[in-house]
Amino acid sequence: MALRAISAACGLSAAALLAAGAFAPMAIAQGVPDPDATAQGDVSLTIYNNDLALVQDVRQLPIAQGKTRVEFPDVSAQIQPETLSFAAADTTIIEQNFDYDLLTPGKLMEKAVGQMVTLLRTNPATGAETRERAKVLSVAGGTVLQIGDRIEVLRDDGLPVRVIFDRVPPGLRARPTLSVNLDSTRAGTRPVNLRYLTDGLGWSADYVALYNEAGGTIDMQGWVTLTNNTGTTFHNADTVLVAGNPNGGGGPRGFGERGMTRAGTEAASRERLGDFYLYPITGRTTVANAQTKQVSFLDVQSVPAKKIYSRGVYWQQNDEQPQNVQSRIAFSSSKDQGLGDALPAGTVRFYQRDSQGTPQFIGENSIGHTPMGSELSLVTGDAFDITVKAEVEKRETITSDEWVKTERFRITDGAQSRTITLERPKTYYRTVMRYTVTNAKKTPVEVELTQTGLNRSWWADDFRIPSEDIKGEQLNYDTRRYKVAVPAEGERVFRVTYETRY
């Protein structure tokens, strides 16, 4: 682009020049560019969760016969050039170049090193302007100029100074531009298909759930949160979102505590792409650079849900003080429970109405990609009024005769017996755990307490529970769950006796 002059407002240091950023007074001979103008054609975006997107751009371009060079402005500034696919009838590609050195105040000064510029100074008292020609010597840590026979460093002293550049330095572009050398067997205008992967364009799911404790339901709305940090606006794009993590994207494989207690086995009715689900955005949309856009994709009411109070206790845990239990909200994504959809990874935020009927935020948690039909139990926070105190009430060694007497209480997982050539010394222990559960609420509650750490190692996989005040449920070889009913404004103490080799 031929320019007669570019004038930029700047401070008296390189840092201030960048901060002033302000090419707002930039004068271009051809006039002010249209901010909505674009060289893009028919754009389609396929956006993945892991900050990766596939851009397909079909443009109608005149191509001369023989070898020629064609430029494609308005491609992503974070394009992965090695992924470019170019297709045009009767045309082959010889070479491609991606020019991503964009026109900025800082870049202008960097490219002007060794070149002449004009300094325009304004006297703040009189408004008089003076011009001096200067040679840019360096911009490392500040701007150093040679003005005649003297060397001057631009200082950030607040005096108005403008730098006028004679031209745009070679290699700087106002927009990210892809240039391609072609060889065509004929001349004429034809569709050119560009396809490439880019970083900087991604999406996540956000869920808003209104919990009705009295009715035992949630109303859930799902939002797609789309972010564009590619440096380029994609105009009027046909956009589809892919829920999944294809290899090569380098993004996260999951989100925090997934909260999925049982994976679903129901196939969602959404369109698939390989092993991923597609979430198309209805109608074409412009995805602006540095923009966050939200689109609704899920809106269901009266999904059955319940509150669960829970706490996990490690082996031989000895609490000095009572610990607040976790408050969870459990629900299903199955079709017969009303939600009926596969849930892409994201954050679920829960709200509940207060006595005035106003929804108030009560907590949030993250989920991973969740198949339809899954059961979820998401922690929303700690329960204020409900606590558990786990204590080792008694621990002692027992004889082998006592150990043999409790064989019928051995906890097994149905595994085949094994022959061990190296045995540890046979020492047996009896441990009595006391659990104290308190409830300061005006209503009775049920607390799910899970005792973990029961599966120590191959040499200790024989443990027994000869006595427990509340019948437990063995969830797996390492974990046993107790459902504890606690009266209103009361407490419940129960004990469990474990006999182990550890």
Could you list the pLDDT tens digit for every one of the 502 residues in the chain?
333 333 333 333 333 343 333 333 333 334 444 556 788 999 999 998 888 999 999 999 999 999 988 888 888 888 888 888 888 999 888 887 765 555 567 777 777 788 888 888 887 778 788 888 888 888 877 788 888 888 888 766 556 777 887 777 666 565 667 778 889 999 999 999 999 999 999 998 999 999 999 999 999 999 988 999 998 899 999 999 988 777 654 444 444 455 777 676 666 667 677 778 888 888 898 999 998 888 888 899 999 999 999 999 999 999 999 999 999 999 999 988 878 888 888 999 999 999 999 999 999 999 988 888 999 999 999 999 999 999 999 999 998 888 888 888 888 755 444 554 555 567 889 999 999 999 999 999 999 999 999 887 765 667 889 999 999 999 888 899 999 999 999 999 999 999 988 8
Residue 30 covered by a domain: yes
Unique residue bearing structure tokens 């408004």:
127
The structure tokens listed for 320 are 């000095």
294: nearest Cα among 252, 346, 363, 364: 346
- Is the Cβ–Cβ distance between 176 and 26 less than 8 Å? no
> 3-class SS at 190?
strand
User: What are the tens digits of pLDDT across the range 318-373?
Assistant: 999 999 999 999 999 998 887 888 888 899 999 999 999 999 999 999 998 888 89
Describe the chain by its helix, strand, coil percentages, rounded to 5: 5, 55, 40
Cβ burial 95-131 (10 Å sphere, 16+ → b, else e) = eeebbbbebebebbbbbbeeeebebeeeeeeeeeeee
pLDDT for residue 98:
65
User: What are the tens digits of pLDDT across the range 48-74?
Assistant: 888 899 999 999 999 999 998 888 888
Residues 6+ apart with CB under 8 A from 475: 450, 481
In terms of residue numbers, what domain contains 73?
A: 6-196
pLDDT for residue 27:
33
Residue 404 covered by a domain: no
Phi-psi map region of 453: left, alpha, beta (phi>0 left; psi -120 to 50 alpha): left
pLDDT for residue 206:
93
pLDDT for residue 13:
35
- Is the Cβ–Cβ distance between 188 and 116 less than 8 Å? no
Residue 88 covered by a domain: yes
pLDDT for residue 312:
94
HSE-CB for 367 with a 13 A CA cutoff: 34
pTM of the model: 0.69
Chain-centroid distance, C-alpha 390: 37
Q: Could you tell me whether strands 144-147 and 150-153 are parallel, antiparallel, or unpaired per DSSP bridges?
A: antiparallel
Calpha distance 9→141 (Å, rounded):
19
Backbone CA torsion sign across 336, 337, 343, 345 = negative
186: nearest Cα among 86, 63, 72: 63
Residue 228 covered by a domain: no
- Is the Cβ–Cβ distance between 225 and 86 less than 8 Å? no
Residue 276 covered by a domain: no
User: Which residues in 123-230 belong to E strands, given as ranges?
Assistant: 129-138, 144-147, 150-153, 161-165, 177-184, 188-199, 201-212, 217-228
Say how many domains are in the chain.
1
339: nearest Cα among 315, 372, 307, 386: 372
Residue 49 covered by a domain: yes
Residue 44 covered by a domain: yes
298, amino acid identity: L
57: nearest Cα among 260, 184, 233: 233
Residue 465 covered by a domain: no
